[in-house]
Every structure is written in structure tokens, then in C-alpha cells.
Amino acid sequence: MMALRERAIVSLRSVPSLPRHVRMQYDPVRQGFAVLSPEKVFWPNDISLDILRRCDGRSSVSHIIAGLAADYDAEQEAVAADVIAFLQEWSDKLLVKL
Amino acid sequence: MSEPLLPPIGMLAELTHRCPLQCPYCSNPLELLKANRELDTQTWLDLFSQAADLGVLQVHLSGGEPTLRRDLEQLIAGLSARGVYTNLITAGINIAEGRIEAFAEAGLDHLQLSFQGARPATTDRIGNHSGSHEKKLETARRGRAAGLPLTINAPIHRHNIEEVPEFIDLALSLDAERLEIANVQYAGWALANRNALMPERAAVERQAEIVAAAQERLAGIINIDFVPPDYFAVYPKPCMGGWARDAFMVTPDGTVLPCHAAQTIPSLRFERFGERSLAEIWTNSPAFNAYRGTEWMQEPCRSCERREIDWGGCRCQAMAIAGDAAATDPVCIKSPIHARMAMLIDETRRASADSAADEPFIYRRIGAVTELA
């Protein structure tokens, strides 16, 4: 028997990516970005999409927060709380890998 | 129409009715189609291409046993080329060496593997196929080795409801990222076998507690999707998310249906792909429009605040139990004949108490219904 996975907890050093069973793509019929997973299709809002696009398996959470804060001209602290909560929620649903 | 017609998101493709297993709750119709009625490769590819044009984002490749189609790799590749998310729903036995890897290579996104039991003896007995459990374990390992994400599907009934904790352990041990604990829906073969399959009320309640606790304990480790048995429920399932609302299915001969059991509604006539395009069928088929939206509803659905949550429940269950496909699903506590659900549960308990042994299964196989009649 293999070692069981553990629940991942987001930290500033986490490097998030989309797991193999999750795909984000543009849907020309509905003219929006869809996130496809085994049974469900999600339609994230613009801010969620901006976070997900940065989950490229290379950028750390602190790097993602800094980038978003710059783009949205917002306080890093406020952005950090939102980004960490979002990533934890998506990680708990196994839609984001940390 | 209460809302504008939207494009479909999901499609279930029943590529074949052939299957090495004989599960007595199969969702295929009692009258199974033989291999000579199946669509050929090019027709499936044309259908998939039209589905992608229409807006379908996910295709579930199912059956019967879809891996019995020798062209499955080609079909996956065709869908993948159109960016459609592909989910292979398989019993996972007798899949030739190298094929799972070939499916992955062709672009398969996800593998969904059924287990009839968490114990080998249960799996082998329910599917009526000796040695099947061991083969399924092997398929799961091969799938994970090929890099495919895995869902374990566990159809639940009275003969395996006590194995729910073991199903959870099994899914974890196979490195699945998702487990479906899906109580069987009493349509098709399951309706014919209802007395043999109906669980006890106490077992249903225990199951719900076990699953809820596991969902909380295993958050972020495995996704557990729970489909409770609707005979015991207060409100019906929003069957298919609403009739012809965002999904449809296609049978092995290309008949396009709003759901698995739709052909049990005698007043409806369904169309085959090829006679008309998929877009025409989705938009204009009288059968698809029959129960779309909320206009068709009778009371108590018509004025119910849940009408766009439940969508009236299951049309086929309304047909089977109320004798009227436009009636409120009798599962709903507001249905005038809701009490019949409890009577049906009690009836199965009496049936099993009357005989020393459990009611025997009518196993799913071609011709079994003519034997019945």
C-alpha cells in the first residue's frame, strides 16, 4: 500500500498548479473561460481567472500576490488574504495542486 | 419556455451495450442493442464534432463497456483534437495490454472505474463475473501508472451498503482523487430488481453519517461525491440538472435522449443522429422540448419555490410510479402520492422477510427480459 496523501495547506512558499484532471480553456460558444474537471464545469470570475492563470507550477504564492497587487493597484495584505483563501478552497476540492 | 435555450455542456456516449459484467442495476434499457446496431467510427466522430460545435465541453464515454470498441483510441483522439474533456467510464476488466496507455496517449483526461463491491466476493457476485475484482485493481494501477487521474465509482444497494467505509479505504489505497458513492437509481434493470436491491432505512441513515464524516475528514485528500437513495428523500433529485437543460445522451445506435430511461415514456418519440443534425435535435426535438423549463409543470411543481432547483425531479420516475411523466416526482414530499415511496420500501422489506434467502437477481444480459416475459 502506498503512502496516503495529506491535505495541503497554502503557504507563501507554495507553488500552485492545475492538476492533470483539471483544465482551463476558452469556450468560443459561450465566450468565456471554463475550468473543466471530471464531473463539473466551473465559470470563474475575472479575479479568480487571474489567480488561476498564475498557477503555472513555477510561481510561488508570494510572487502571485505581488503580481496581482501590482496589476490591481491594491494593498498586498488584502490581496494576500483573498488569494490564500481562494487557493485553499480550490486545493481542498483538489482543483489546484500545491 | 421560462428561460432561453442554452447550449449543452455534457454528453454521455453509450458506445456499446456489450459488457462482460451483468450488474442487476445497470442503467441501460432492458432491451439491449446488439453489436450490429452500433454506430461506426466515422459516425461517432461526426457526432462528436457536431457536439463540440454545439458547445459540449465534456464527453463521458460509457456503455456497456466502452473499451470493447476497438476504435476507442480514435474516438478519444477525435474529441481531444476538439478540446473536449474526455472521461472514460469503464468496468475495467479484460483491457488488453498497452491500451490504457494508448487511451492516455490519445488525450484521455480522466478514468472512472466501477467497483461493484469493496470486497472481491461482492464485486464478483454483483457483476456475475469471477475474478473481476482483481482485474479492476490491476486496471486502477495501470491507469495511475499511465498518469491518468482516477475516480472510483461505487453503486450502492442493500448488498454492499455496509461496505461504504471499505470503499473509502479502497479509493484511497488506489490513489483515486475522487470517489462516487452513488446509490442506485431505480430505473432500467434496477427497477426490475428493486425488491432485491432496496436497502434498509437504518443502513441508509448510517451510510449518510459515514459519508458526511469522511467528506469532512478527507477534505483536500479525496473528493467524495454522494448520491443518496432518493426513495428515502424529502425532495427529488434535479434529474440530469433539468430535462434537456445542459446535458444529453446518445445510445449505441445514435438515438439522442435527454436521459438514460427516457425511452420508458411511451408518449415520446426520439430521433437518431444522422436523420437530423445534433443541433436540430437539441433545439427542436418535440421529446426534448416536452419537459424543458417549467411550462409543462403541473401543481404542486408549477407554483413551487423549488421548481428551478429540482426541475420537478425525474420524469421517468414520475412515469414509473405515478403513471404520468408530467406529474411531480413522487419522491417529493409535496407529491400527492409521496406516501407510495414508503410503501414501496416496506414492500421490499416484506418480500425479503417472506423468503428465507434474498430475492434472486435478474442479471443484466441480452435476452433476459424475454425470459422474464
| More confident of the two residues B100 and B366 | B100
- Smallest CA–CA distance, residue A6 to chain B, in Å, is 6
Pick from A30, A38, A94: which is nearest to B87 by CB?
A38
| More confident of the two residues B98 and B346 | B98
What's chain B's length in residues?
373
B65, pLDDT greater than 90: yes
Residues of B in contact with A5 (CB under 8 A): 175, 221-222
Q: Note the pLDDT tens digit of each residue in A35-57.
A: 999 989 999 999 999 999 999 99
Residue-level pLDDT at B340: 92
Average confidence (pLDDT) over B27-42: 94
B372, pLDDT greater than 80: no
CB pairs under 8 A between A and B: 62
B1, pLDDT greater than 50: no
Give the model's confidence band at B355: pLDDT under 50 very low, under 70 low, under 90 confident, else very high. Answer: low
Residue B31 identity? E
Asked if omega into B64 is within 30° of 0 (cis), the reply is yes
For chain B, how long is the longest CA-to-CA vector? 57
Report how far residue B39's alpha carbon sits from residue B94's, in angstroms, rounded to the nearest whole number. Answer: 23
Is ipTM beyond 0.90?
Answer: yes
Average confidence (pLDDT) over A74-91: 94
Cell 467510464 belongs to: B89
Is the Cβ–Cβ distance between B314 and B24 less than 8 Å? no
- Out of A67-81, B25-39, B110-124, B351-365, the most confident range is B110-124
Residue of chain B minimizing CA distance to A1: B173
Pick from B110, B219, B220: which is nearest to A38 by CB?
B110
Q: Best interface-test mutation with B: which of A4, A10, A96 has the largest number of B CBs within 10 A?
A: A4
What does pLDDT average to over chain A?
93
Give the model's confidence band at B212: pLDDT under 50 very low, under 70 low, under 90 confident, else very high. Answer: very high
Residue-level pLDDT at B357: 62
Report how far residue B214's alpha carbon sits from residue B211's, in angstroms, rounded to the nearest whole number. Answer: 5
- Smallest CA–CA distance, residue B100 to chain A, in Å, is 16
Average confidence (pLDDT) over B197-202: 92
Q: Note the pLDDT tens digit of each residue in B178-189.
A: 999 999 999 989
Strand (E) or helix (H) holding B105: helix B99-106
Residue-level pLDDT at B350: 76
Average confidence (pLDDT) over B163-167: 98
Residue-level pLDDT at B43: 98
Cell digits for B256?
Answer: 439522442
Residue-level pLDDT at B373: 40
The C-alpha angle B109, B112, B117, rounded to 5 degrees, equals 165
Residue of chain A minimizing CA distance to B217: A7
Give the model's confidence band at B38: pLDDT under 50 very low, under 70 low, under 90 confident, else very high. Answer: very high
- Smallest CA–CA distance, residue A1 to chain B, in Å, is 6
Report how far residue B262's alpha carbon sits from residue A28's, in angstroms, rounded to the nearest whole number. Answer: 31
- Smallest CA–CA distance, residue B68 to chain A, in Å, is 22
For CA atoms B55, B57, B58, B63, the dihedral sign is positive
Contact B221 A7 (CB under 8 A): yes
B80, pLDDT greater than 70: yes
What does pLDDT average to over chain B?
93
Integer angstrom CA distances of residue B176 from B104, B149, B180, B306, B339:
16, 7, 11, 35, 39
Q: Note the pLDDT tens digit of each residue in B219-230.
A: 999 999 999 999
Give the model's confidence band at A1: pLDDT under 50 very low, under 70 low, under 90 confident, else very high. Answer: very low
Contact B149 A19 (CB under 8 A): yes
B352, pLDDT greater than 90: no
Residue-level pLDDT at B4: 79
- Smallest CA–CA distance, residue B232 to chain A, in Å, is 24
Strand, coil or helix: A93: coil
Instruction: Provide long-range contacts, Cβ within 8 A and 24+ apart, for B303-311.
Output: B304/B334, B306/B235, B308/B2, B308/B242, B309/B235, B309/B238, B310/B235, B310/B236, B310/B237, B310/B238, B311/B238, B311/B239, B311/B241, B311/B242, B311/B243, B311/B245
- Phi/psi-derived region of residue B312, left when phi > 0, alpha when psi is between -120 and 50, beta in every other case: left
Report how far residue B35's alpha carbon sits from residue B163's, in angstroms, rounded to the nearest whole number. Answer: 35
Taking an 8 Å Cβ-Cβ cutoff, which residues of chain A contact chain B?
Answer: 1-2, 4-8, 19-21, 23, 25, 27, 29-30, 34, 36, 38-39, 41, 91-94
Q: Kindly state whether B153 is in contact with chain A, defined as any CB-CB distance less than 8 angstroms.
A: no
Which of B82-91, B296-305, B348-357 has the weakest average pLDDT? Answer: B348-357
Average confidence (pLDDT) over B115-144: 97
